Amino acid sequence: MSEQPTEAETEPPETEAAEPDGFAILTAKLKTLPNSPGVYRMLSESGDVLYVGKARNLKNRVTSYTRARSLSMRILRMVQMTRDLEIISTHTEVEALLLEANLIKRLKPRFNIILRDDKSFPYIEVNLDHDDPMLVKHRGKREKDREYFGPFASATAVNHTLTALQRAFPLRSCTDSDFESRQRPCLQFQIKRCLAPCVGEISREAYGEMVQEARDFLSGRSQNLRDELGGKMQQASDALAFEDAAMYRNRIWALSQIQSKQGVNVDGLEETDVIAAHSAGGQTCVQVFFFRAGQNFGNRAYYPSHTKDDTVGEVLAAFIGQFYDSRPAPKQILLSHDVPSEDLIAEALGIHAGHKVHLLRPQRGGKRELVEQAVRNAEEALGRRQAESAAQTRLLQGVADLFGLPAPPQRIEVYDNSHIQGTNAVGGMIVAGPEGMRKAAYRTFNIKSTEITPGDDFGMMREVLTRRFQRLKKDDADGKTPTAGEWPDLVIIDGGLGQLGVVEEVFAELGIEGVGLVSIAKGPDRNAGRERFFLPGKPPFDLPERDPVLYYLQRLRDEAHRFAIGTHRNRRSRQIGQSPLDEIPGIGPRRKKALLLKFGSAKQIARAGLADLEKVDGISHQMAQQIYDFFNAGA
């Protein structure tokens, strides 16, 4: 199958010659490849990276691609599409492995196994650079002179842990500016959730001991801490200091509550991640469980993109490299399957983390049971995802049938505008497809035109759609290759016949064809279930109230509405630099103070229920309803 480049292929031809295929190109590249470690990139005709790989010997590795009979259909196709090869030499194979993982995450090549969900994890931070430290949630870059405990699988997990820790270790939770300006204890002190170091209710030495106890607990020294607290409780009881004894009792109870929810009875889990995978139907779910200091800090599911030819071990190997590329690996990783080049991966992770990393596949005992539990979680999660995907496929087929599309839409874009009397006007675009809502593809459009009359919904819609599709056309004209599915199959507008006419004009002016277009108007009295649908050149119609396709379209419309309103409120709040409470009619300084004393922050007020709001002094039922509606409109 491989062939050597001919003279006509290496010298400028006098007449047009056939372009060499991928095998000929790779064969020609072999002459200059070194027999040393490195990373190689296969490029397509347009310059896109098709594949990133690492090798102990670059020349030998690329040579294997020129033997067509030994290649799978997927690799054969990749080689046929290859039009160039780039290499980066490294000193060792470990360096090549680290560089490979980094390039795959950044370039997302078509033929690699890709970890698409790469969100950062929250930690608990202790700001030791302050004289009176506190425990707070942290996500992002780490600072010097601060200690971090985690990672936690989600913000919910870390919030629950912080709430429980505050009962056991009543440390301050206020900002540094509030701490410095405080002249009397706050509500947290009254409910025994803070020791009020801001006003000297506790000495700095005693407060420092409390901080150290919290650090000991988060570091896994919980049993020693409970023994110490038990001794102090007994001493206080013997001295007839029953209030102090009750305080120690409550702290021990709080610690027990934390451990009853997070504790595991397996030795050797001081710093361990459990990574388990289950594959079915050409898809794989990878579950990651985080264990720190003998406690379960939660788990998260991932669905790497790969082909049906990839084995579970290959998927896990690629996953591990990309997963720990941007975060340090723990000292121990328990795996459900054997992975290729296990020793090499462990060495690479150790270099990246700064300590030795062990990859283990336990065969018996408590660790094996943890892995099996993680596998069951992966199997169940994959089953739910595939069931949801099947239901989503049926809904998208229903959308295609309803609106006369040639095939189920792979990308649906929904647009909505938000403003108050024309001020801080924004447009929002949400995106949905076979995998549900694609929040990473959501976009906002700040209305820039000064010629639009305040409150002109038609003019705002014209600007948003014009900017959106002008950009898509420009990318195509510049020869850029958009992300797969960048052009929508269906555009949905929140509005009636007027909005539909505006978008039709925009499409006609830009020469946009082949994109489905529909406008959804709320029915009489704005009742859900009585929506009217408007399509170009067709009479309006509605759907039965219990139609599942109608419910799906309502969800899309409501999500666009929620996103647009949320964006508008954020912009408005940034502009005025005030609390959201200042935007509610009838909320003056006295009511605002009462609400903040009750709930602590505007964020907590926004989460409060109607009954809780009514309990605040000075807040009537009508005012509570107004506050609740303000924060929950469109939710």
User: Tokens 């934390």 label which residue?
Assistant: 258
- In terms of C-beta distances under 8 Å and separation of at least 24 residues, what long-range contacts does 529-533 make, across chains too? 529/554, 531/557, 532/496, 533/402
Task: Supply the pLDDT for residue 458.
Answer: 84
Token pair recorded at residue 227: 């023994």
Task: Supply the pLDDT for residue 15.
Answer: 40
CATH number of 271-384: 3.30.420.340
**β-bridge partners, 427:** 417, 445
* Same fold across 7-107 and 578-632: no
Give mean pLDDT in consecutive 10-residue pieces for the chain, a chain of 635 residues.
42 46 90 93 90 93 90 88 92 92 89 80 89 88 85 84 82 85 85 87 89 83 74 82 79 69 63 93 91 83 88 93 89 94 92 92 91 93 85 90 92 82 71 86 79 73 88 70 67 88 90 90 65 89 86 88 74 55 78 80 82 87 87 66
For residue 622, what are the CA distances in angstroms to 586, 596, 604, 618, 627? Answer: 11, 19, 20, 11, 9
What is the DSSP code string of 547-613?
Answer: -HHHHHHHHHHHHHHHHHHHHHHHHHHHHHTS-GGGGSTT--HHHHHHHHHHHSSHHHHHH--HHHH
Distance CA 391, CA 263 (A): 37
SS in 3 state form for 35-58? CCCEEEEEECCCCCEEEEEEECCH
How many angstroms separate the first and last alpha carbons of the chain?
61
Class of domain 412-479+486-572: alpha beta
**β-bridge partners, 333:** 273, 359
- Strand 516-521 relative to strand 490-494: parallel, antiparallel, unpaired? parallel
Neighbours of 273 (CB within 10 A): 25
Task: Supply the pLDDT for residue 118.
Answer: 63
Which residues, other chains included, contact 593 with Cβ-Cβ below 8 Å and sequence gap of 6+? none
Q: What is the pLDDT of residues 375-416, one digit of tens each?
A: 999 999 998 888 888 888 899 999 999 999 999 999 999 998
Distance CA 441, CA 564 (A): 14
Q: What is the pLDDT of residues 78-133, one digit of tens each?
A: 999 999 999 999 999 999 999 999 999 888 898 998 887 667 889 999 988 888 99
Which residues, other chains included, contact 285 with Cβ-Cβ below 8 Å and sequence gap of 6+? 277, 278, 279, 301, 302, 303, 378, 379, 381, 382, 385
Distance CA 229, CA 226 (A): 5
Among 1.10.3720.10, 3.40.190.10, 1.20.58.220, 3.40.1440.10, name the CATH number for the domain at 7-107: 3.40.1440.10
User: Tokens 């690629």 label which residue?
Assistant: 318
Distance CA 380, CA 374 (A): 10
Q: Angle between the 73-81 and 22-29 helix axes, to the nearest 10 degrees?
A: 80
Phi, psi of 94 (to 5 degrees): -65, -45
Type of residue numbered 154: S
- In terms of C-beta distances under 8 Å and separation of at least 24 residues, what long-range contacts does 572-577 make, across chains too? 572/420, 572/423, 572/424, 575/424
Contact in structure between 329 and 352 (CB atoms under 8 Å): yes
Domains of the chain, residue spans: 7-107, 271-384, 412-479+486-572, 578-632
- Select from 143, 156, 165 the least CA-distant residue to 293: 165
Contact in structure between 94 and 351 (CB atoms under 8 Å): yes
Which residues, other chains included, contact 480 with Cβ-Cβ below 8 Å and sequence gap of 6+? none
Distance CA 318, CA 612 (A): 49
Neighbours of 426 (CB within 10 A): 24
190: phi > 0 → left, psi -120 to 50 → alpha, else beta; which? alpha
Distance CA 104, CA 363 (A): 32
Distance CA 47, CA 368 (A): 46
Contact in structure between 51 and 111 (CB atoms under 8 Å): yes
- Select from 142, 186, 205, 193 the least CA-distant residue to 163: 193
Neighbours of 323 (CB within 10 A): 24
Q: Which helix (H) or strand (E) holds 436?
A: strand 436-437
Type of residue numbered 465: L
Distance CA 374, CA 368 (A): 10
User: Which CATH architecture group holds 578-632?
Assistant: Orthogonal Bundle (1.10)
408 prior amide bond cis, ω within 30: no
